[in-house]
Amino acid sequence: MLFLIVYSIAFGQNGAPSSYRIEQVQLPESMSPEVSAVAFSPRGNLVIANRHGDIWIRDNESGWRRFAYGLHEPLGLWVNNESDIYVIHRPELTRVQDVDGDGEADRFRTISDAWGLTGNYHEFAYGLPRDKNGNFYGGLGLESAGEIVMSRGPIRMRRVLDERHRSVTPFRGWVFQIDPEGRFIPLAMGFRQPAGIGLSPEGDLFATDNQGDWVGSSTLVHVRKGHFYGHPASLKWSPDFSPDQISREKLWEKRTRPAIIFPHGPMGGSPGEPVWDLTEGKFGPFHGQIFIGDFSALISRVHLEKIAGEYQGACFPFIEGESIGQGNMRMAFAPDGTLYVAQTTRGWAEGEGLKRIVWTGAPLMELRAISLTETGFDLEFTEKPDPILAGQATIYRVRRFQYHYHEKYGSPRINESDVEVVRVSTEGGRVRLELAELRPGFIYRIEATDLTSVDGHKIENGVGYYTLNRLLNGETDRSLPVEMKKLDEVVQSRQPTDVQKGGELYRQYCAMCHLPDGRGSQGIGAASFVGPESPLAKSDDELKAIISAGKDDKGMPPFGSTLSLEEIQDVVAYLRQAFGR
Amino acid sequence: MEKVSEMDRLIVNLGVLICLFTLVYSGRPLVYRTILPDSRPSSIAVGYDNGLAFVFDPIRGGISYAWTGPFLDLEPTWTGKLIKPARVLGKVFFRDARDLPFRKGNPEIESEFVFKGYDVGPERITFFYLLDGSPVEQIVTPLKTEDKEALHIQFKVADPGESYWLLLSPQPQARITSPEAEQIENCLKFQGKETYSVVIQHD
């Protein structure tokens, strides 16, 4: 018990709420720990898959056993029972069964393989929720650069509109349905890497998409049949596609807005599978919210509401940093209300395994939800806030910003500015913020600091990001975001540096690609700061310019609006101190 | 207590390292779906206890090649984000690159091939597919001869009244035979039965 308390407090100071405990789940020694899918059987047994292609079952009575192997990078499971499991992997949706009853699968039936394959490393197949009518849902990632040698399905090499990631074969960049008869039904297009597919308790389909070209910052979208979500590559497989009618402006008009935009950096970079907290309090004070793991060291929460008939809402950091680690692409709630997190990062970063997050029941003061009002936002907390503190406008800070919609990799924040809080009122434990201006088409960052609950608990996370597509009256802004000021100016002046802060920022934003030891991920060609080709041979100003503007040809995103000039200088100072030169 | 020399320790460690990626056989054939050389994505590698192995390509609709040896090195497919094909360990004695080598009705026309999956059992794997909508089971087992390795392939068809054709390609290191087939030019023709067998023997 003492160990658990120490563990919990330690993580409370290290990116996890203090009322949650994170445990490492012991895996079988003979299993590769690149855990790529997690689910539970109706009897409550844990079922996982890994990148090597295994499926393992942890029977609550008899322990671990390998159920199947030899699948090609499974990324989703749906468990009928301990001898009948559906799995989505690169080539197909397969029903895997143990027919002779010896505990090991012997039957592998192709339910659907109606999508294209070239062997490109980026051809991930994601899933695998199933609705009450027996329909499965999945998504297909686009192809990245690389030679196309052999294929399944027709090949169309021509790009639609300057995209970096391509849809060379059908139906790359689509979210699909497979009905109980095995029919493949393309549902919606415009995805880059729809790495997380989820069904809400109401039966609405959602998908996450990963930041990159044409995706300025990662998203969660409500998937509807026939809709287009922004990346042009997949359009070529739509029956009404006409290459002559494509332009950035037309795509923007056609694009269905995401319900949530996850600001790149503080809210991760590559979101995975969304799971709904239906534990009725077993997992703490967030029942009904969506939890989404991220490839970076982050798990976020999402609170959705319907405004003028469309979903939008806010995202919040839940757990971040070393306490959880990287590669949190798959998650599932266990019957006991704990959250299992499958981790894999192969080639992009470091981190793998299976973690279990447990709510300890200890008090927790956090910003729970943000809801839109006519003139601002209502804030809801996990505990009733101290009314005197909560009524002071000075403890709130509101900023808003946008992202570009363009073919470049990611986007800096544009048109970022503070928004004045003109009035604060409290009622029934909620706080109402009236703002000087409320404009659709922006992401609003709302922060409540130095707040305590009436029971004296200090707020642990008071930050949330609300994606404001529509006002309560349905008003929206359909205009393409245009940058109102130049970002180049941020690299001009000099300030005193803070190396320690630079190190924290490096671990948060840079280490995913450049690795904690600065040697750079070879898999993605990220620069090494310790070798003879180290970019640290460049001047400080050159390094700051690279960090600010990114390096498009290397796939490095710009950080000019994620980090301030001072923060960029801090990172450069840390690089010099940590890696020499 | 038994003494272990540093050299013995090194050998054991090397053995553990090799076993991580070089596979060890069990009773059933080993079956891996991955990226394989000279075969299309989604191909299936099958390895038997006796050192026989082959690749079945569900896109081509047939066996791409067969070999004898220690089977596969999967390390290239499991390391790094850029996928590289697995390495075939051994000597290839049969290759076929032609699309849809098993055809129904007319050997000049490619039958529509729909892959339906596979079963794994003791010393055998059974592939299931449709040829022009008609079910076919293709059972592949290792055949033990006196001094040569061979694959025994059994086709179970649903339309015995129809003719079925196996297209042959030149094989400098393998002999392909069938007791039920009539050889017509570079094809084996089957008709009138529900089951046909073919042997691919390493010369």
What pLDDT is recorded for position A541? 79
Q: Which residue of A has its CA nearest to B61?
A: A152
Model confidence at B59: pLDDT above 70: yes
Average pLDDT, integer, range A440-458 = 96
Nearest partner of A37 among A153, A169, A129, judged by Cα: A129
Helix, strand, coil percentages for chain A (3-state, nearest 5): 15, 35, 50
CB < 8 Å to B32, chain A: 53, 69-70
Q: Which residue has the higher pLDDT, B8 or A208?
A: A208
- Number of DSSP helices (H) and strands (E) in chain A, helices first: 7, 32
Binned at pLDDT 50, 70 and 90, residue B21 comes out as very low
Residue the block writes with tokens 């003791």: B122
Q: Which residue spans within chain B are E strands per DSSP?
A: 30-33, 44-47, 52-57, 62-73, 87-95, 102-104, 113-121, 124-131, 134-144, 149-157, 164-167, 174-177, 182-184, 187-190, 195-202
Binned at pLDDT 50, 70 and 90, residue A12 comes out as very low
Q: Which residue of B has its CA nearest to A345?
A: B81
Q: Which residue of A has its CA nearest to B76?
A: A52
Question: What are residue A188's DSSP bridge partners?
Answer: A175
What pLDDT is recorded for position A581? 65
CB < 8 Å to B16, chain A: none
Closest CA–CA distance from residue A273 to any residue of chain B (Å): 20
What pLDDT is recorded for position A356? 98
What pLDDT is recorded for position B7? 36
Q: Tell which of A90, A95, A169 to mutate to test the B interface (max B CBs under 10 Å).
A: A90
Do B42 and A99 lie within an 8 Å CB cutoff? no
Q: Which residue has the higher pLDDT, A182 or A350?
A: A182
Cα A529 from Cα A552, distance rounded (Å)? 19
What pLDDT is recorded for position A187? 98
Do A53 and B32 lie within an 8 Å CB cutoff? yes
pTM of the model: 0.85
| Residue pLDDT, tens place only, A23-74 | 999 999 999 999 999 999 999 999 999 999 999 999 989 999 999 999 999 9
Average pLDDT, integer, range B145-173 = 92
Q: Tell which of B74, B83, B113 to mutate to test the A interface (max A CBs under 10 Å).
A: B83
Model confidence at A11: pLDDT above 80: no
Q: Does A154 touch chain B (CB under 8 A)?
A: no
Q: Which residue of B has its CA nearest to A70?
A: B32
Count Cβ neighbours within 10 Å for each residue of A174-205 and write b for 16 or more, e otherwise.
bbbbbeeebebebbbbbbbbbbbbbbbeeeeb
Enter the DSSP assignment of A510: I
Q: Which two tokens stand for residue A109?
A: 């039936």
Q: Does A117 touch chain B (CB under 8 A)?
A: yes
- Measured on CA atoms in the order A269, A275, A280, A281, is the torsion positive or negative? negative
What is the complex's ipTM, to 2 decimals? 0.89
| Residue pLDDT, tens place only, A320-347 | 998 999 999 999 999 999 999 999 998 7
What pLDDT is recorded for position A557? 74
| Minimal Cβ distance to B117: which of A70, A71, A110 | A110
Binned at pLDDT 50, 70 and 90, residue B5 comes out as very low
Do A346 and B34 lie within an 8 Å CB cutoff? no
Do A53 and B34 lie within an 8 Å CB cutoff? yes
* Cβ neighbours of residue A496 closer than 8 Å, sequence gap 6 or more: none
Give the three-class secondary structure for B85: coil
What pLDDT is recorded for position B6? 38
Q: Which two tokens stand for residue B88?
A: 């075939």
Do A121 and B81 lie within an 8 Å CB cutoff? yes
Binned at pLDDT 50, 70 and 90, residue A552 comes out as low
CB < 8 Å to B74, chain A: 52
What pLDDT is recorded for position A181? 97
Do B42 and A121 lie within an 8 Å CB cutoff? no
Do B41 and A346 lie within an 8 Å CB cutoff? no
Model confidence at B119: pLDDT above 50: yes
Residue the block writes with tokens 């997949």: A234
CB < 8 Å to A90, chain B: 41-42
Do A90 and B41 lie within an 8 Å CB cutoff? yes
| Minimal Cβ distance to A523: which of B28, B82, B115 | B82
Give the three-class secondary structure for A500: helix
Q: Which two tokens stand for residue B190?
A: 């089957």
Give the three-class secondary structure for B38: coil
CA atoms within 13 A on the CB side of A299: 31
The region, left, alpha or beta by phi > 0 then psi within -120 to 50, assigned to residue A28 is beta
| Minimal Cβ distance to A72: which of B34, B81, B116 | B34
Q: Which residue has the higher pLDDT, B81 or A254?
A: A254
Neighbour tally for B137: CB within 10 Å: 17
**A–B CB contacts, 8 A cutoff, strictly below:** 88
Q: Which residue has the higher pLDDT, B10 or A544?
A: A544
Binned at pLDDT 50, 70 and 90, residue A147 comes out as low
CB < 8 Å to B80, chain A: 346-347, 522-523
What pLDDT is recorded for position A515? 79
What pLDDT is recorded for position A433? 98
Q: Which residue of B has its CA nearest to A99?
A: B119
What pLDDT is recorded for position A511? 78
| Residue pLDDT, tens place only, A211-261 | 999 999 999 999 999 999 999 999 999 998 988 779 999 999 999 999 999
Which helix or strand (DSSP H or E) is residue B78 part of? helix B75-78
How long a stretch of residues is chain B?
Answer: 203
CB < 8 Å to B33, chain A: 53, 70-72, 89, 91
Q: Which residue of B has its CA nearest to A348?
A: B81
Binned at pLDDT 50, 70 and 90, residue A558 comes out as confident
Do B33 and A70 lie within an 8 Å CB cutoff? yes
Percentage above 70 pLDDT, chain A: 93
Cα A511 from Cα A531, distance rounded (Å)? 16
What pLDDT is recorded for position A14? 62
Model confidence at A556: pLDDT above 70: yes
Instruction: Give, in order, the Cα–Cα distances in Å from A506 to each of A294, A499, A530, B101.
Output: 18, 10, 15, 56
| Minimal Cβ distance to A107: which of B39, B59, B119 | B119
| Residue pLDDT, tens place only, B22-40 | 444 457 999 999 999 999 9
What end-to-end distance do the CA atoms of chain B give, in Å?
51
Q: Which residue of A has its CA nearest to B20?
A: A30
Model confidence at B136: pLDDT above 70: yes
CA atoms within 13 A on the CB side of A517: 5
| Residue pLDDT, tens place only, A401-427 | 999 999 999 999 999 999 999 999 999
Cα A118 from Cα A144, distance rounded (Å)? 11
What pLDDT is recorded for position B114? 97
* Cβ neighbours of residue A374 closer than 8 Å, sequence gap 6 or more: A471, A472, A473
Closest CA–CA distance from residue B184 to any residue of chain A (Å): 31
Model confidence at B13: pLDDT above 60: no
| Minimal Cβ distance to B120: which of A106, A150, A348 | A106
- Dihedral, B177, B182, B188, B194 alpha carbons, nearest 10: -90
Pairing mode of beta strands A310-320, A328-333: unpaired
Q: Which residue of A has its CA nearest to B82?
A: A121
What pLDDT is recorded for position A492? 39
Q: Which residue of B has its CA nearest to A90?
A: B42
Cα A391 from Cα A13, distance rounded (Å)? 27
Which chain B residues touch A if contact means CB-CB below 8 Å?
A: 28, 30-35, 39-42, 58-59, 74, 78-83, 115-121, 128
Q: Does A91 touch chain B (CB under 8 A)?
A: yes
Average pLDDT, integer, range A517-523 = 77
Model confidence at A149: pLDDT above 80: no
Contact A380, A365 (CB under 8 A): no
Q: Which residue of A has its CA nearest to B128?
A: A109
Model confidence at A495: pLDDT above 70: no
